[in-house]
Amino acid sequence: MTATLPSTSLDDAEHPQVFTGTPSAGEPGQVDAHDVCAWFGDRLVLETVDLVMEKSKVTALIGPSGCGKSTFLRIINRMHEVVPGAQLAGSVKLDGVDIYGPGQRAMETRRHIGMVFQKPNPFPAMTIAENVLAGLKFSRTSPANKDDLIEESLTKGGLWNEVKDRLGELGGALSGGQQQRLCIARSLAVKPRVLLMDEPCSALDPTSTLRIEQTIKEIASEVTVVIVTHNMQQAQRVSDYCAFFLAEENQPGRVIEAGRTTTIFGSPTDQRTFDYVNGQFG
Ligand SMILES: Nc1ncnc2c1ncn2[C@@H]1O[C@H](COP(=O)(O)OP(=O)(O)OP(=O)(O)O)[C@@H](O)[C@H]1O
Ligand SMILES: [Mg+2]
């Protein structure tokens, strides 16, 4: 069944409480996607995706262009519903709570399930420090000590040592790799349970890429990470689990195979997975 998504603002106004009884902010969460389907208009682009993204682990989503990886990621933090004509079916649970269930607010979900995009998007006219704190405004939280939070978040983002003496400079003045780590720090400042990353290194040089991968490994004990990547070496370096998406000709995207990264790359069960991870197509 196709679920027409509710108006976010109406939902927000009427249902103030969410995620009661679940771990507090800052603890890694588990995401369970069940029977997820997605449409743009009449076009089914993702079909019956079942995927568990384990707590405190890094899950990589791999597959050729157009197979629905970004769409799936957007469904996990309720960004899909802001696309005109987009619809979805199925359920997505964070620590057992359906993020699309009655009473769930999109903004609150996005605080618990943060997102880092392909292109670094710091606020260029804000300082480095202001950028780190920018997400707090939307989450309506006020830290006890902002300086401590800035240092903590930039340290987790792997950027502190490079910027500690220039926190008042503009975010837009940083290099691309530094801007991406600033965006990671901004996402971590609101203490999400899950961090979604959509090709976070695709615009970066190899050194910056390795730096971000190191950051991902360091934060994984505190936040569940789901990363989309076209880089097979990167998937193997950073992820514990891997899901291979594929949209065959005139078909919607599906998960062909998911499991431990070592298995997906070392001994996949499906020939299509083998061919993809060995560079035969895509
Ligand atoms: N806003 C949109 N409107 C209509 N169709 C869309 C929209 N966004 C994506 N699609 C379609 O949905 C399908 C999945 O797209 P998606 O961006 O999720 O793929 P992807 O796996 O992330 O690809 P890539 O690796 O190139 O980023 C594609 O066929 C795409 O054309
Ligand atoms: Mg994409």
Cα(45) to centroid of ligand 1, in Å? 8
Percent of the chain with pLDDT over 70: 90
**More confident of the two residues 135 and 225:** 225
Q: Is residue 171 part of a domain?
A: yes
Q: Is residue 39 part of a domain?
A: no
Geometric angle at alpha carbon 76, from 73 and 78, rounded to 5°:
105
Please state, rounded to an integer, the average pLDDT across all residues of the chain. Answer: 90
pLDDT tens-digit series, residues 114-126 = 999 999 999 999 9
Q: Is residue 16 part of a domain?
A: no
Cα(120) to centroid of ligand 2, in Å? 15
pLDDT tens-digit series, residues 153-195 = 999 999 999 999 999 999 999 999 999 999 999 999 999 999 9
| 209 CB-side CA count, 13 A | 16
| 169 CB-side CA count, 13 A | 12
Structure tokens at 177: 């790799």
Which residues have a Cβ under 8 Å from the Cβ of 248 and sit 6 or more positions away? none
- Note down the domain range covering 210: 54-74+105-277
Residue 9 has a pLDDT of 31
Residue 24 has a pLDDT of 52
Residue nearest to atom 29 of ligand 1 (CA): 66
Q: Is residue 144 part of a domain?
A: yes
Q: Is residue 31 part of a domain?
A: no
Asked if 18 and 95 count as a contact pair (C-beta separation under 8 A), the reply is no
Domain count, the chain: 1
Tokens 């509710």 found at:
6
Cα(191) to centroid of ligand 1, in Å? 29
Instruction: Decide if pLDDT at 4 tops 60.
Output: no
Q: Residue 242: which CATH number?
A: 3.40.50.300
Q: What is the pTM of this model?
A: 0.91
Q: Is residue 248 part of a domain?
A: yes
Which atom of ligand 1 is nearest the CA belonging to 199?
Answer: 27
Give how far the C-alpha of residue 270 lies from the chain's centroid of Cα atoms, to the nearest Å.
Answer: 26
